[in-house]
Structure 1
Amino acid sequence: MAEPLALYVHWPFCVSKCPYCDFNSHVRETVDQAIWRDALLADLRHEAALLPGRRVGSIFFGGGTPSLMPPATVAAVIAAADRAWGLADDVEITLEANPNSVEVANFADLAAAGVNRVSIGVQSFDPEVLEFLGRAHSGDEARRAIAAAQAHFARVSFDLIYARPGQSLAAWESELQGALAFGTGHLSLYQLTIEPGTRFATLAAKGALVIPDGDTAADLFDATQAMTRAAGLPRYEVSNHARPGEESRHNLAYWRYADYAGIGPGAHGRRLGQATERHKKPENFIAAVERNGHGLKHESDLPSHERATEALLMGLRLTEGVDLTRIEARSGLPRAAFVDAEAAARLMKQGLMRQTGDRLSVTDDGILLLDSILSEVVKTH
């Protein structure tokens, strides 16, 4: 039996653009909902024809702001995926939502459409921080949104951004304690990074925005690990924490390098050794679907070595690490072609990596040095 398939659906529209965001999101005064529903369904049918004989283990509606999608469109996409592939009995269907009350009002209808997990973009409960991050909701709206989500969905996650300019360890510990008190089974906790091309990058270049230095960020990270572990939500990926069994199955499919179909503007996919990418700009995506019956911009065969290195780069983000035998099977290459054994042995001696049988992983001590570890261990050519 083939592994379950993950389906990613991108909804590109937002009410406004956040200054730290480098996702494919667009602000439009009006959106023709019928055209968008039909385009997403056509794009899905194209992928289904190329990936026969699979069952869908997870669907993820990302964005943009997918909680602005009409629930009827969400229901139509879920029904189309079920017709095309069939849904696993325990399918995980996640939708990203903002805490604004307009979107929270849709929660009951989204749950009725089949969504069983929401991921809420809270980022902070502090009004000054929310203003700094360009968020359109208040701390009270965030709290109400989490409570409403817990009433409507079996599983709830929310995001917070920390290691912000001027943030003290005590302030973050207090904020995180409040977040853990909601009792959700999953939390995504991201350190603020300055992404190229964002408004924050412009401010940082002028010296008007300074994020904490490496040592401070490391202290904040260590405190985060200790508190989430104590609360029963250990880290299972660099920034993601879950009660055991409540990990995001959809994101695990990416990190474990399983096949995933990506539909909607700018969506990426990995199917049967091919990389796929859709047109990013909403208008270009719609034009492509009308012209070709799908929104594909590029599809290309991934060379064996690229498949192996991608699997390593994704999988070593996970606490569980990577199964080297699985990467050999998926790439057709021996591990010596993609893992620098000498570098790995040296890092193991330093306590930064470990290997148990065929499983290679980065230790808690190594995770803050992940980028440099990857550059040493992964043979890129």
Structure 2
Amino acid sequence: MEEKSLSYGVEQKKSTPYEVYVHVPFCLRRCGYCDFNTYTAVDLGGGVSRTSYADIVIREMNIVKRWQEEHNILEPPAHTVFFGGGTPTILPAHDLVRILHAIDQLWGIEQGAEITTEANPDTVDADYLKEIYDGGFNRVSFGMQSAVPHVLKTLDRTHDQENVISNIDVAKRIGLRSSIDLIYGTPGESLVDWKTSVRAALNLDIDHISAYALSLEPNTKMGRMIAAGKLEQPDDDDEAVKYEIADDMFESSGLSWYEVSNWSTPGNESQHNLGYWHNVDWAGLGPGAHSHYNKAKIRSWDIAHPKMWGNSIQNDEIPWADSEHIDDQMNIEEMAILGLRLRDGLNIEQFERAAGMKIPEVTLDELLREGLATLSHGHLIATRRGRLLNDSMISQILSAVGI
């Protein structure tokens, strides 16, 4: 087992934060609602397998680093590192640690950086958690989704609540911070079921919880079952009520919302996710992963299929499927979309400067009158009603400035 030997760099002069995301596309089984770029095969062809994956990702990061230097993009040590999927913890712990150490050697890792991996509760145990902690990880995000057996069954989840409880207990003992993900709106989930799950999450006594409405795509197993009438279609009103229930229960337990779908105790917000919402630079590694570079005004995304992704890397090419230039209009749109999702709100002066015009007073008055937002120190902040009608509010703001 590798010892905790990360240098975490040195204290850096403040600059735009830099993040690294590592996508691990493997899963033990594919959940019926999942539309992510994930695969259940052990070997995906083209040399891409669970056993070779760490080596290929490390090779990709070297190609990415070379591309950055060729384009005069000199990133500071990573402010955060996040392993997502798929199920990153389907790989051996020493592979995750090896990838993390390669990031540290290539870019450096900022002192005190947040280093997270997602984990399905039934793919880790005490030894696994200890090994990644010793290797430099300091945070785990567990996919709990629900505490109710029949809801977990509908979601095709293979764990039970005891897995969640035991692993979070271990994480606390060894010093790993924990977060959990919940899903609301599953077909057949009652309000009592949802309250049971929220209460079970709060009983874990952790500092961060994410709660997402079930999002269905027609090409998923669950989407096809709903189309065939075998499962009930999720209801928007039901999901809104469940969001309000969660918000009330979280707030009363000391977890405040800081992004539409995320709650934490003060100071324990996900720094990695905040980086996305603040539009910092990040490198995405792995099939289908996205990258974002402010200086180059570019967003790119890797080839989605692991075999083709791996072939590109074997040919010493950056494995992008495509990229897009972030023009002024796209930048304005993203400022509104990202700002209005955050508790900090949309900086009106900054937004108006980018848009080249003021938001009409009539638009702001209407948002305030409808109870969608409040104004505080020059920021437009969504109310709970505004969070539930976030897309509508964003559309009103963008339409008001001609976008």
C-alpha distance in 1, partners of 2:272/2:356? 26
Q: Secondary structure at the match of 1:298?
A: strand
User: Partners in 1 of 2:248 and 2:329 — Cα distance?
Assistant: 37
* Stretch deviating more after TM superposition (58-67 or 148-157): 148-157
Return the alpha-carbon distance in structure 2 between the equivalents of residues 9 and 343 of structure 1: 41
1:133 is matched with 155
**1:283-362, aligned counterparts within 5 Å?**
283-326=307-350, 333-334=354-355, 336=357, 342-362=362-382
SS in 2 for 1:106: helix
- 1:48/1:315 Cα in 2 relative to 1: closer, same or farther (>3 Å)? farther
CA distance in 2, matches of 1:112, 1:301: 40
1:166 maps to 2:188: yes
SS in 2 for 1:43: helix
- Counterpart amino acid of residue 330 in structure 2: E
CA gap of 1:171–1:136, structure 2 versus 1, over 3 A, is closer
Q: Which runs of 5+ in 2 are unaligned?
A: 1-13
Aligned length: 377
2:396 paired residue number: 376
SS at the partner of 2:74? coil
Asked whether the 8 Å contact 1:100–1:136 carries over to 2, the reply is: yes
* AA at the equivalent of 1:323: N
Of 43, 49, 56 in structure 2, the residue corresponding to residue 39 of structure 1 is 56
Task: Answer yes or no: is the 8 Å Cα contact 1:42–1:294 preserved in 2.
Answer: no
- The correspondence of residues 117-132 of structure 1 with structure 2, limited to 5 A, is 117-132=139-154
- 2:28 corresponds to which residue? 15
RMSD value, Cα: 2.2
Distance in 2, matches of 1:362 and 1:140, equals 36
Q: Deviations over 1:239-276 (max 9, x none)?
A: 11111111100000111111111111100111122001
The letter of the residue matching 2:24 is: W
Structure 1 unaligned regions, length at least 5: none
| TM-score normalised to structure 1 length | 0.92
* Change in 2 beyond 3 A, CA 1:213/1:34: closer
State the identity %.
32
Who is 2:270 aligned against? 248
C-alpha displacement of 1:335: 5.1
Q: Which moved more, 1:242-251 or 1:100-109?
A: 100-109
Give 1:143 deviation, angstroms.
Answer: 2.2
Q: Choose which of 52, 55, 62 in structure 1 pairs with 2:84.
A: 62
Within the candidate set 124, 131, 139, 1:109 is matched to: 131
Aligned-partner SS, 2:384:
coil
CA-to-partner distance for each residue in 1:68-91, whole Å, 9 max, x for gaps?
122222222222222222211110
Partner-residue secondary structure (3-state), 1:137: coil
Contact 2:288/2:305, CA 8 A, preserved across alignment: yes
1:256, 1:322 within 8 Å by CA — same for their partners in 2? no
Match 2:386 to one of 335, 344, 366: 366
Q: How many angstroms does 1:327 deviate by?
A: 5.2
Where 2:357 maps in the other structure, the secondary structure is helix
Q: Is the 8 A contact 2:185 2:239 kept in 1?
A: yes
Output the CA distance in 1 between the equivalents of 2:244 and 2:373. Answer: 18
